[in-house]
A and B are shown apart, each in its own frame.
Chain A
């Protein structure tokens, strides 16, 4: 009888295509399109039984900032992917409109809004961290962040906990 185990390498697998067992994902951008890919990667990792750490740095920290994580917007200026004239992208309210449209399409696919998605990922056992250098630079405190983060850590701590896994920078 063939047995099927999660993450088992295919027969004849070499080190090059071994199953991934751990990922550490860095979120450095604070726009909606900068944050979602990392959240989908982190959630997807947990769904596959892969251990996941998420390290929020620079403007990416808005995703775990209590006052800000509900107000994350699509960048409508300097974003050629939107195929929107630059002058139009800069129009007041443009970012809010595009963000609302995107939220609708995501809701259809059952992709949660950022605050709910972050909680889902934390509940799934992924560990969330804020970057100490950025916290110091922006003069933030632990209370500025949602409860479900593990803590504020240094880049050295990050490398230590990322040991033995893959690192993804977004």
Chain B
């Protein structure tokens, strides 16, 4: 199990390699970002983000996240108050989302 201090990260704290990620690392990333402890609701979002990235090569937009992750926009902001798309991407071990939406 890689510890957070042992993995390469960008200046903003995103993992350099999505393959370094595991669920324990996510808990460490969450704690560091002031999110959590991670609940099933957080995991619904994190798994959705990670799967989208692995399939499409980029994380979902906030609109898609609200429609398809199983967690609506209001709850997304309760779970990740400091910005759901970006924070969830960081915790899910995927790169920072590229879009403006």
> Which residues of A are at the interface with B, using a C-beta cutoff of 8 A?
1, 3-7, 40, 43-44, 46-49, 109-112, 116, 120, 123-125
Number of interface residues of B (CB under 8 A): 27
Q: Which of A1, A116, A125 contacts B5 (CB 8 A)?
A: A1
Listed A/B pairs (21) with beta-carbon separation below 8 Å: A1-B5, A3-B32, A6-B83, A43-B62, A43-B101, A46-B83, A47-B62, A47-B83, A48-B83, A109-B101, A110-B61, A110-B63, A111-B101, A116-B63, A120-B62, A120-B63, A120-B73, A123-B66, A123-B73, A124-B62, A124-B77
> Which residues of B are at the interface with A, using a C-beta cutoff of 8 A?
4-5, 12-13, 32-34, 61-64, 66, 72-74, 77, 81-87, 90, 99-101
Question: Is A44 touching B74 in the complex (CB atoms < 8 A)?
Answer: no
Report the minimum CB–CB distance from A40 to chain B (whole Å).
Answer: 6
6 cross-chain pairs, A with B, having the tightest CB-CB distances, nearest first: A4-B13, A49-B82, A123-B73, A6-B82, A49-B83, A110-B61
Q: What number of residue pairs across chains A and B have CB atoms under 8 A from each other?
A: 59
Query: Which partner residue on chain B sits nearest A126 by CB separation?
Result: B77
Question: Is B13 touching A47 in the complex (CB atoms < 8 A)?
Answer: no
Query: Which partner residue on chain B sits nearest A123 by CB separation?
Result: B73
Tell me the interface secondary structure of chain A in the complex: loop
Q: Which of B12, B72, B81 contacts A4 (CB 8 A)?
A: B12
Given the known A-B contacts A6-B33, A48-B86, are A124 and B13 also in contact in the complex, defined by CB atoms under 8 Å? no
